[in-house]
């Protein structure tokens, strides 16, 4: 996935939606219930891998598909932290057509860059 | 580069191989500390993350490393082949019923779980410690099955305490489920026998019905990889390892990080062995139910079960000395020779069965391991056809609904949880596995024994 956004928080929100779009048609997912997420990591790229890994775990164990992610990302003394509320609903075989199962979030060619008011990332999912 | 890169391919396959970055990945793997011989690639090599898929790398115990990227997310993804006592003509009239029973009894697709097998924490621990034997002890298979599984269906050194709670949660309801993507359970028949003597030793004959199962360690293995990859990224910094690609993250074999990964990986590998064992039991039950006979009358016996995503300690002759190495096979199959003590007794005279699935419309192959593979490739051969079209590309060129009809026209009955998956898995999306097998046979890494053609398949 190659993603651009105006802020790092928006970039992480876009990444969440890219994961949903890889798994299913995001239009079919309803923002029915809120789910808080809190993550900290030493580096911003680790934070992105952990963030998407968290959403993947919630999909597989809790069947949660994400329709929207309201994300705040901040730099701390120990690195980076993320506070988010993801809105979504449980996977419903009748309404959600599955495109592909994502096995993991890789570090392959992972990069997060900022320039000219744009944040950009490339992240590869293992499918 | 500490060693050479060595790719087994012909000119036709090389044209595809040059089209992606897999050759650069072969070069990158050659930088791993302690790598022995060469960074190897099988003819089905294609772009992976860190290691290429189809890559083999062996590292020394004293100064070598282990890399989760050299195993992959789907730890101990592998293939199991059942031979039957049934001929194609006997099954053909009830084929759709057999496939429907398999589809009912072997959960497929995303979110699939078994209602009849929800593991307790103690059960899950037993699965990770004992692998296929855990299932056999519960009546899901025969004791004789264990002799015909790589490593006896249980990798030593597994430590469930080094598998995260999160990985356990992902696996707890998934034992005995197929998964999605390229995983399948396929009813086949022996369409051609190339080596009658070896085929007879493997219990194969023309027209015989077989069942091939391709699956791995499901979410549990994926999470083990994810968890330990993160640790390894830190270990690379800690041990000052210089790598050309972060996805090759690794740790010395004799380090806390390396030992922890190997113990967790073994636990995930054992989950995968048990997973294929449980599914095989339900395949036997499916045949019995659909054909209206007792399960033992189907003659469905395990021919062999191989890993193709694994790192294992194995012994080879290096510079005239017996040397223990850590062999990474990522999208590569062990192919041990005749006479090797780890080749099952029933096959010791002819070599270990090497199971190579193709696409769901054409054919798969059974080969036998050779002494040449043992000396050249750390006893390894290819693992499959390899994609020639991305999943997205396949979906764009193929209308989802049409694939079922096209497969039926080819004489293959398909049942799947997701139509999109079937479109992605259409035969044209894959290279011709006969080309890949031809190279392996020609190079003497494994010899062709029989070809298997599909009759029916269930997919995720």
Q: For residue A126, give the nearest of B49, B179, B417 by CB distance.
A: B49
CB within 8 Å: A98 and B225: no
Residue to test with chain A: of B20, B49, B237, most A Cβ within 10 A: B49
Residues in chain B within 8 Å Cβ distance of A50: 230
pLDDT of residue A93: 81
The domain of B293 spans 4-459
Contact with chain A for residue B110, Cβ under 8 A: yes
CATH classification of the domain holding B401: 3.90.1860.10
Structural domains of chain A sorted by starting position, each given as residue range(s) with its CATH number in brackets = 2-126 (3.55.10.10)
Contact with chain A for residue B460, Cβ under 8 A: yes
Q: Which neighbouring-strand residues pair with A40?
A: A81
Contact with chain A for residue B203, Cβ under 8 A: no
Neighbours of B197 (CB within 10 A): 11
Neighbours of A31 (CB within 10 A): 13
Residues in chain A within 8 Å Cβ distance of B219: 60-61
Burial of B397 from C-beta contacts in 10 A (0-12 / 13-18 / 19+): exposed
Contact with chain B for residue A40, Cβ under 8 A: no
CB within 8 Å: B109 and A98: yes
pLDDT of chain B, 460 residues: tens digit per residue: 899 999 999 999 999 899 888 999 999 999 999 999 999 999 999 988 889 999 999 999 999 999 999 999 999 999 999 999 999 999 999 999 999 999 999 998 776 777 788 899 999 999 999 999 999 999 999 999 999 999 999 999 999 999 999 999 999 889 999 988 889 999 999 999 999 999 999 999 999 999 999 999 999 999 999 999 889 989 999 999 999 988 899 999 999 999 999 999 999 999 999 999 999 999 999 999 999 999 889 999 999 999 999 999 999 999 899 999 999 999 999 999 999 999 999 999 999 999 999 999 999 999 999 999 999 999 999 999 988 887 778 877 766 668 888 899 999 999 998 777 788 888 988 999 999 999 999 999 999 999 999 999 999 8
Contact with chain A for residue B169, Cβ under 8 A: yes
Q: At what angle do helices A8-23 and A44-62 cross, to 10 degrees?
A: 40
Residue to test with chain B: of A29, A43, A60, most B Cβ within 10 A: A60
Contact with chain A for residue B181, Cβ under 8 A: yes
Find the helix or strand (DSSP H, E) in which A55 lies: helix A44-62
Three-state SS for B10-28 is CHHHHHHHCCCCHHHHHHH
CB within 8 Å: B226 and A104: yes
Q: Tell me which chain A residue has its CA closest to the CA of residue B69.
A: A106
CB within 8 Å: B49 and A124: yes
Look at chain B and report how many structural domains it folds into: 1
Backbone angle region of B408, left / alpha / beta, with phi > 0 → left and psi within -120 to 50 → alpha: alpha
Contact with chain A for residue B229, Cβ under 8 A: yes
CB within 8 Å: B219 and A100: no
Residue to test with chain B: of A24, A54, A107, A122, most B Cβ within 10 A: A107
Residues in chain A within 8 Å Cβ distance of B229: 104, 106-107
Residue to test with chain A: of B108, B219, B250, B268, most A Cβ within 10 A: B219
- Residue from B206, B226, B183, B154 nearest B79 by CA: B183
Active site residues of B: 383
Beta-strand runs (E) in A11-117: 33-41, 64-76, 79-90, 104-105, 111-115
Q: Tell me which chain A residue has its CA closest to the CA of residue B416.
A: A98
CB within 8 Å: A97 and B180: no
Residues in chain A within 8 Å Cβ distance of B247: 106-108
CB within 8 Å: A61 and B170: yes
Average pLDDT for chain A: 92
């Amino acid at each position: 996935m190659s993603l651009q956004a105006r802020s790092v928080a928006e970039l992480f929100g876009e990444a969440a939606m890219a994961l949903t779009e890889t798994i299913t048609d995001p239009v079919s997912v309803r923002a029915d219930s809120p789910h808080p997420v809190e993550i900290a990591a030493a580096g911003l790229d680790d934070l992105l891998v952990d963030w998407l890994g968290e959403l993947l775990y919630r999909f597989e164990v809790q069947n949660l598909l994400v329709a929207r992610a309201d994300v705040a990302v901040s730099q701390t003394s120990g690195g980076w932290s993320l506070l988010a509320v993801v809105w979504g609903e449980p996977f419903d075989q009748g309404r959600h057509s599955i495109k592909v199962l994502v096995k993991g979030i890789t570090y392959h060619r992972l990069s997060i860059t900022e320039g000219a008011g744009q944040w950009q990332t490339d992240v590869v999912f293992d499918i | 580069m500490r060693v050479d890169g060595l790719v087994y391919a012909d000119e036709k396959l090389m044209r595809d191989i040059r089209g992606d970055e897999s050759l650069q990945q072969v070069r990158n793997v050659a930088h791993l500390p302690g790598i022995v011989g060469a960074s190897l690639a099988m003819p089905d090599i294609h772009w992976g993350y860190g290691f290429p898929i189809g890559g083999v790398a062996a590292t020394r115990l004293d100064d070598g490393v282990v890399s989760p990227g050299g195993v992959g997310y789907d730890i101990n993804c592998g293939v199991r082949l059942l031979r039957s006592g049934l001929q194609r003509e006997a099954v053909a009239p009830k084929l759709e019923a057999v496939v429907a029973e398999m589809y009912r009894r072997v959960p497929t697709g995303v979110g699939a779980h078994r209602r009849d097998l929800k593991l307790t924490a103690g059960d899950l621990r037993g699965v990770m410690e004992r692998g296929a034997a855990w299932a056999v002890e519960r009546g899901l298979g025969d004791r004789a099955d264990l002799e015909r599984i790589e490593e006896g269906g249980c990798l030593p050194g597994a430590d469930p305490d080094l598998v995260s709670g999160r990985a356990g949660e992902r696996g707890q309801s998934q034992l005995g489920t197929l998964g999605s993507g390229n995983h399948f359970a396929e009813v086949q028949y022996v369409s051609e026998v190339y080596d009658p003597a070896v085929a007879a030793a493997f219990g194969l004959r023309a027209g015989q019905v077989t069942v091939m199962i391709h699956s791995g360690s499901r979410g549990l293995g994926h999470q083990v990889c994810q968890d330990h990859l993160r640790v390894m990224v830190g270990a690379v910094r800690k041990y000052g390892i210089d790598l050309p690609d972060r996805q090759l993250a690794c740790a010395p074999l004799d380090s806390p990080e390396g030992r922890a990964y190997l113990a967790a990986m073994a636990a995930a590998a054992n989950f995968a062995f048990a997973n294929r064992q449980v599914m095989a039991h339900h395949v036997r039950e499916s045949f019995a139910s659909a054909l209206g006979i007792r399960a033992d009358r189907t003659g469905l016996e395990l021919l062999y079960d191989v890993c193709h995503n694994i790192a294992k300690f194995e012994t080879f002759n290096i510079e005239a000395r017996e040397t223990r190495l850590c062999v990474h096979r990522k999208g590569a199959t062990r192919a041990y020779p005749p006479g090797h003590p780890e080749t099952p007794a029933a096959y010791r005279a002819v070599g270990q069965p090497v199971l190579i699935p193709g696409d769901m419309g054409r054919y798969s192959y059974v080969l036998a391991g050779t002494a040449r593979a043992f000396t050249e490739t750390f006893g390894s051969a290819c693992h499959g056809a390899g994609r020639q079209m991305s999943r997205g590309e396949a979906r764009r060129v193929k209308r989802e609904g049409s694939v079922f009809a096209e497969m039926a026209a080819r004489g293959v009955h398909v049942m799947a949880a997701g139509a999109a998956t079937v479109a992605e898995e259409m035969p044209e999306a894959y290279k011709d596995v006969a080309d890949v097998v031809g190279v392996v046979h020609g190079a003497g890494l494994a010899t062709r024994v029989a070809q298997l053609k599909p009759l029916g398949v269930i997919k995720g």
